[in-house]
Amino acid sequence: MRKVFVVCLLATANLLARAASDCRGVGGTISTNFVSASATLGSATGDLSGGIGVSVLSVTQNPDGTLTFHNQHSWVTASGETIETKPATATAFSTGIQGLYAVSYTDGIVVTGGTGRFANARGNIRAWGAANLATNEIVLRYEGKTCSAHSE
Protein backbone atom coordinates (compact mmCIF):
# COMPACT_ATOMS: atom_id res chain seq x y z
CA MET A 1 0.00 0.00 0.00
CA ARG A 2 2.88 2.39 0.80
CA LYS A 3 4.41 1.76 -2.62
CA VAL A 4 1.12 2.65 -4.34
CA PHE A 5 0.87 5.82 -2.26
CA VAL A 6 4.46 6.82 -3.06
CA VAL A 7 3.93 6.16 -6.79
CA CYS A 8 0.73 8.26 -6.75
CA LEU A 9 2.50 11.05 -4.86
CA LEU A 10 5.40 11.08 -7.34
CA ALA A 11 3.03 11.02 -10.33
CA THR A 12 1.07 13.96 -8.89
CA ALA A 13 4.28 15.94 -8.30
CA ASN A 14 5.39 15.18 -11.87
CA LEU A 15 2.06 16.36 -13.30
CA LEU A 16 2.19 19.57 -11.26
CA ALA A 17 5.76 20.25 -12.39
CA ARG A 18 4.82 19.66 -16.04
CA ALA A 19 1.76 21.94 -15.74
CA ALA A 20 3.92 24.70 -14.28
CA SER A 21 6.47 24.29 -17.07
CA ASP A 22 3.75 24.94 -19.65
CA CYS A 23 3.52 28.56 -18.49
CA ARG A 24 5.88 31.15 -19.88
CA GLY A 25 6.46 34.81 -19.37
CA VAL A 26 5.75 37.12 -22.28
CA GLY A 27 6.64 40.74 -22.90
CA GLY A 28 7.00 43.35 -25.59
CA THR A 29 5.40 46.48 -27.00
CA ILE A 30 2.21 47.41 -28.82
CA SER A 31 1.88 50.36 -31.17
CA THR A 32 -1.51 51.13 -32.71
CA ASN A 33 -3.37 53.95 -34.39
CA PHE A 34 -7.07 54.70 -34.31
CA VAL A 35 -8.38 53.87 -37.79
CA SER A 36 -11.90 54.94 -36.79
CA ALA A 37 -13.58 56.33 -33.69
CA SER A 38 -14.01 52.79 -32.35
CA ALA A 39 -11.09 50.73 -33.69
CA THR A 40 -7.31 50.64 -33.63
CA LEU A 41 -4.90 48.68 -35.80
CA GLY A 42 -1.20 48.16 -35.24
CA SER A 43 1.60 45.81 -34.37
CA ALA A 44 3.10 44.00 -31.41
CA THR A 45 6.79 43.22 -30.89
CA GLY A 46 8.44 40.78 -28.52
CA ASP A 47 7.15 37.36 -27.50
CA LEU A 48 3.71 37.89 -29.06
CA SER A 49 4.87 39.79 -32.15
CA GLY A 50 2.40 40.23 -34.98
CA GLY A 51 -0.68 42.29 -35.72
CA ILE A 52 -3.15 43.58 -33.15
CA GLY A 53 -6.44 45.39 -33.45
CA VAL A 54 -8.75 46.73 -30.80
CA SER A 55 -12.48 47.26 -31.10
CA VAL A 56 -13.59 49.89 -28.61
CA LEU A 57 -16.88 48.58 -27.27
CA SER A 58 -17.60 51.69 -25.18
CA VAL A 59 -15.91 54.70 -23.57
CA THR A 60 -16.91 56.21 -20.25
CA GLN A 61 -15.79 59.65 -19.10
CA ASN A 62 -15.46 59.47 -15.32
CA PRO A 63 -15.98 62.33 -12.82
CA ASP A 64 -12.29 62.16 -11.82
CA GLY A 65 -11.22 63.01 -15.38
CA THR A 66 -10.19 59.48 -16.35
CA LEU A 67 -11.56 57.69 -19.39
CA THR A 68 -12.53 54.01 -19.27
CA PHE A 69 -12.23 52.07 -22.53
CA HIS A 70 -14.00 48.70 -22.76
CA ASN A 71 -12.09 46.87 -25.51
CA GLN A 72 -12.05 43.63 -27.45
CA HIS A 73 -8.65 42.61 -28.82
CA SER A 74 -7.87 40.76 -32.05
CA TRP A 75 -4.32 39.40 -31.98
CA VAL A 76 -2.54 37.43 -34.72
CA THR A 77 1.08 36.44 -34.18
CA ALA A 78 3.74 36.74 -36.87
CA SER A 79 3.50 32.96 -37.38
CA GLY A 80 -0.27 33.20 -38.00
CA GLU A 81 -1.55 31.95 -34.66
CA THR A 82 -4.49 33.76 -33.10
CA ILE A 83 -4.77 34.76 -29.45
CA GLU A 84 -8.33 34.97 -28.12
CA THR A 85 -9.10 37.26 -25.18
CA LYS A 86 -11.97 38.35 -22.99
CA PRO A 87 -13.10 41.98 -23.32
CA ALA A 88 -10.70 44.12 -21.27
CA THR A 89 -10.83 47.51 -19.57
CA ALA A 90 -8.18 50.18 -20.07
CA THR A 91 -8.13 53.31 -17.94
CA ALA A 92 -6.70 56.52 -19.42
CA PHE A 93 -5.41 59.08 -16.92
CA SER A 94 -5.12 62.71 -18.03
CA THR A 95 -1.58 64.09 -17.97
CA GLY A 96 -2.53 67.74 -18.08
CA ILE A 97 -1.35 67.95 -21.70
CA GLN A 98 -4.27 68.25 -24.11
CA GLY A 99 -5.06 64.81 -25.60
CA LEU A 100 -2.19 62.97 -23.87
CA TYR A 101 -3.14 60.17 -21.44
CA ALA A 102 -1.29 57.57 -19.41
CA VAL A 103 -3.03 54.23 -20.05
CA SER A 104 -3.18 51.10 -17.90
CA TYR A 105 -4.93 47.74 -18.19
CA THR A 106 -4.88 47.31 -14.41
CA ASP A 107 -6.75 43.99 -14.50
CA GLY A 108 -4.84 42.84 -17.56
CA ILE A 109 -5.98 41.25 -20.79
CA VAL A 110 -7.23 37.71 -20.10
CA VAL A 111 -6.14 35.11 -22.67
CA THR A 112 -8.84 32.48 -23.26
CA GLY A 113 -7.40 30.40 -26.12
CA GLY A 114 -6.57 30.69 -29.77
CA THR A 115 -4.96 28.59 -32.47
CA GLY A 116 -1.61 26.78 -32.72
CA ARG A 117 0.34 27.04 -29.49
CA PHE A 118 -2.47 29.17 -28.05
CA ALA A 119 -5.18 26.50 -28.48
CA ASN A 120 -6.73 26.11 -25.01
CA ALA A 121 -4.21 28.61 -23.61
CA ARG A 122 -4.91 30.67 -20.52
CA GLY A 123 -3.11 33.70 -19.17
CA ASN A 124 -3.09 37.32 -18.21
CA ILE A 125 -1.24 40.12 -19.96
CA ARG A 126 -0.86 43.48 -18.25
CA ALA A 127 -0.19 46.58 -20.32
CA TRP A 128 0.58 50.23 -19.67
CA GLY A 129 1.75 53.18 -21.72
CA ALA A 130 0.44 56.31 -23.38
CA ALA A 131 -2.33 57.38 -25.72
CA ASN A 132 -2.23 60.59 -27.72
CA LEU A 133 -5.88 61.10 -28.61
CA ALA A 134 -4.99 64.32 -30.47
CA THR A 135 -2.97 62.29 -33.01
CA ASN A 136 -4.84 58.95 -32.54
CA GLU A 137 -1.69 57.05 -31.49
CA ILE A 138 -1.19 54.51 -28.70
CA VAL A 139 2.06 52.90 -27.46
CA LEU A 140 2.00 50.26 -24.69
CA ARG A 141 4.41 47.94 -22.90
CA TYR A 142 2.94 44.49 -22.20
CA GLU A 143 4.06 41.71 -19.88
CA GLY A 144 2.46 38.70 -18.33
CA LYS A 145 2.12 34.94 -18.61
CA THR A 146 0.46 32.49 -20.99
CA CYS A 147 -0.10 28.84 -20.10
CA SER A 148 -0.70 26.11 -22.67
CA ALA A 149 -2.82 23.02 -22.05
CA HIS A 150 -1.13 19.63 -22.43
CA SER A 151 -2.08 17.77 -25.58
CA GLU A 152 -1.42 14.41 -23.90
Tell me the per-residue pLDDT of 47-73, one tens digit each, with 9 for 90 and over.
999 999 999 999 999 999 999 999 999
Our count of domains for the chain comes to 1
* Closest among 7, 48, 41, 49 to 24, alpha carbons compared: 48
Tell me the per-residue pLDDT of 12-33, one tens digit each, with 9 for 90 and over.
445 444 445 599 999 999 999 9
Q: What is the CATH number of the domain that holds 80?
A: 2.40.350
d(CA 31, CA 96): 22
Is this model's pTM higher than 0.85 or not? no
Q: Supply the pLDDT for residue 26.
A: 97
b/e 48-83 (16+ beta carbons within 10 angstroms → b): bebebbbebeeeeeeeeeebebebebebbbeeebeb
Does some domain include residue 83? yes
Does some domain include residue 67? yes
Does some domain include residue 140? yes
Measured in degrees and rounded to the nearest 5, phi and psi for residue 18 equal -65, -40
Q: How confident is the model at residue 106 (pLDDT cuts 50, 70, 90)?
A: very high
Does some domain include residue 11? no
- Owning domain of residue 125: 24-147
Does some domain include residue 66? yes
d(CA 57, CA 151): 34
The half-sphere exposure of 142 on its side-chain side, counting CA atoms within 13 A, is: 29
- Residue 53: strand pairing partners: 41, 74
d(CA 122, CA 108): 13
